[in-house]
Structure formats: C-alpha cells, structure tokens
Amino acid sequence: MDLDNVPQEGNATLGGHRKAVYARDASGRIVIAPSKGWEAEEIVTSNAVDTLQALAEAARQRVQAGAASPLEYWMCARRMDVPLLSQTSGYWQWRVKRHLRPDIFATLTDKHLQRYADALGLTVTEIRKLP
C-alpha cells in the first residue's frame, strides 16, 4: 500500500493508540507508517475477543460441572490453547491434556502447579480454583 493510503479510520480496540504498518513511500522504498487502524480490523478483533470470552465461559461451566479442571478455565481465560500452554509451562502436550482432567489435576503437587502458575501469571492458590 502507498504511504498516502495507510488507513486512519480509527479502531476502538487499539484504545486510541496507533500501530505500525508497512507502506511504500514516494521513492518506492518500504517504510513504517503510523495507522489508527480501520473498521474491518476492529470488527474482526471484536469478534475474536467475543469468541475467546465464550470459550472461557464454556470452560468455566465445565469446571463447575466437574467435567474439567480449573486449569482449563485459566488456560482459556489467558487466551491460550494446549500447544501454547505446553510451550510456556515446559510440559509435553499430552501431559497438559491429561492435567485438564479434574481427577488428575487434583493429584498435582505444588511444584507441578507452580510451572502452570508461572506460565499463566497466577499463584498456585489461584490456579486451584475459579475466580
């Protein structure tokens, strides 16, 4: 896109901030230009956030029903999935999936939970229950 065509419509999801986009200047070089965003981006971002909140709420209901561990809720609430939680906690994906079961989660030691707590930005006490 040309430097003159960089969108400046505004995007409520950016909170009044600008973001950097690449554009071509008059001499044909690619430069970084500030953008306020555009409407399509705002719609897509809002829909994605709504979907993530719905996933977290569904996980909360599964935890309350006893079908999942609190780890599943916190994973969804922090906008993570199994591969990302696996990478940040250092556990294999199959172990993370196993720890999503409430019976297995209940047997985890504080040492194991601390790795999840660090990855999720929580304390061990917080990770054991729903907010």
Q: Return the closest-CA partner of residue 70 out of 120, 32, 111.
A: 120
- Confirm if 69 and 104 have CB atoms less than 8 A apart: yes
Residue 89 lies in a domain: yes
Q: Return the closest-CA partner of residue 77 out of 28, 32, 25, 130.
A: 130
- Confirm if 4 and 35 have CB atoms less than 8 A apart: no
Residue 65 lies in a domain: yes
CB-count burial class (<10 Å; 0-12, 13-18, 19+) for 33: buried
Residue 115 lies in a domain: yes
Q: Is the pLDDT of residue 13 over 90?
A: no
Domain span at residue 23 reads 3-37
Interacting residues of 72 by C-beta distance below 8 A, sequence separation 6+: 59, 62, 63, 100
Higher pLDDT, 117 or 17: 117
Kindly indicate the confidence band of residue 71, based on its pLDDT and cuts at 50, 70 and 90: very high
Residue 42 lies in a domain: no
Q: What is the mean pLDDT of the chain?
A: 94
Answer yes or no: do 59 and 91 share one domain: yes
Q: What is the mean pLDDT of residues 110-121?
A: 98
Answer yes or no: do 31 and 76 share one domain: no
Answer yes or no: do 56 and 90 share one domain: yes
Kindly indicate the confidence band of residue 95, based on its pLDDT and cuts at 50, 70 and 90: very high
What is the reported pLDDT for 33? Answer: 93
Answer yes or no: do 24 and 52 share one domain: no
Answer yes or no: do 26 and 86 share one domain: no
Answer yes or no: do 58 and 90 share one domain: yes
Answer yes or no: do 58 and 119 share one domain: yes
Domain count, the chain: 2
What is the reported pLDDT for 14? Answer: 82
Q: What does the longest C-alpha to C-alpha distance in the chain come to? A: 64
